[in-house]
Amino acid sequence: MTSDLPRPTDNAFLGKSVKGGSHEPTYAGALSFMRRRYSRDLSNVDLAIWGIPFDASVSNRPGARFGPQGVRRASAIFDGDPQYPFQMDPFENLACVDYGDCVFDYGKNADIPGHIQAQASTILSSDTHLFSIGGDHFVTYPLLKAHVAKHGPLALVQFDAHQDTWSDEGDRIDHGTFTGRAVREGLIDADRSIQIGIRTHAPETCGLEIIYGHEMDDLGIRGVVERIKNRVGEGAAYMTFDIDCLDPAFAPGTGTPVSGGLSSREALSILRELGTLNFVGGDVVEVAPAYDHADITSIAGASVALTYIGLLAERKSKAT
């Protein structure tokens, strides 16, 4: 006997195309980021979403190793709809796959940066744009090394509560030192780099421009956007979004929450206006679902990723 009931498509495994939405029930089916097809085949793929489940460098609460899972799970509620505020499905024209997660031995921490860099370089060698989901903020350091090997020194647009410029002997694996190390190693151009939402003090700025959390009200969205654009200019840039840039009211599920941060609306509104910047890669990090409530933080992380993807889709649409 046959049934006329609709069947879940499980687009993550059975999708016939790397484009378009899947329209699956949000509460069922195989989960990937936005139900994108899991694939390591990057032929004719514009964008790869990649998880990095690593949190061994945290200075406070661990748990961001579950961030990729949390963000993927939260993204399911957005699949199949025109994405706000772009009024389109970004995957209609943007070929995108979920590349799965970075592979490493959790017992050999010293080897992990090299694994992240090498696997990221493999993705980038196919001329596929890479957006990564962490994991703690250390993962941005090997990601930057992989992107710089392809594009040269980059401007860094860093949304964060922390400067991440603490002293580093060069052999530490620490989520609070990657920015300073990247400046010293010439991975990022400090004169074109900017940090948004900072609410702590580190001993040095390493030459980056800083927009502190308390400046947000006076500057407003437009003021912040203008400062970012003026700082970064037209050269290649990398966007990293530490979810603790948001106030704990909007992102309780993170390792080092700091009060006085941006609302999710403010952060997404700023990111929405950065489409003219030449982003060559990006990430969202420090989502720790164990400290979350009702997936608030995971939803925020998924929304950051989707807004970034919307910018890429607009860029491709304008170029064709």
pTM here is 0.94
- Give CA–CA dist 201/286, Å, rounded: 19
- Which residues touch 148 (CB under 8 Å, ≥6 apart)? 154, 187, 188
Determine the structural domain holding residue 298 and report its residue range: 11-319
For residue 162, what is the domain's CATH number? 3.40.800.10
pLDDT at 1: 41
Let me know if residue 5 belongs to a domain.
Answer: no
pLDDT at 5: 55
Domains identified in the chain, total number:
1
- Give CA–CA dist 58/168, Å, rounded: 14
Let me know if residue 228 belongs to a domain.
Answer: yes
Let me know if residue 1 belongs to a domain.
Answer: no
Let me know if residue 3 belongs to a domain.
Answer: no
Let me know if residue 44 belongs to a domain.
Answer: yes
DSSP alpha helix (H) spans, 152-257: 178-184, 216-232
Decide: 133 and 71 in contact? Cβ < 8 Å.
yes
Predicted confidence pLDDT, tens digits, the chain (320 residues): 445 655 557 888 878 788 877 777 788 888 999 999 999 999 999 999 999 999 988 888 999 999 999 999 999 999 877 899 999 999 998 999 999 999 999 999 999 999 999 999 999 999 999 999 999 999 999 999 999 999 999 999 999 999 988 888 777 787 778 999 999 999 999 999 999 999 999 988 999 999 999 999 999 999 999 999 999 999 999 999 999 999 999 999 999 999 999 999 999 999 999 999 999 999 999 999 999 999 999 999 999 999 999 999 999 988 87
Let me know if residue 198 belongs to a domain.
Answer: yes
Q: Does residue 147 sit in helix, strand or coil?
A: helix
pLDDT at 318: 85
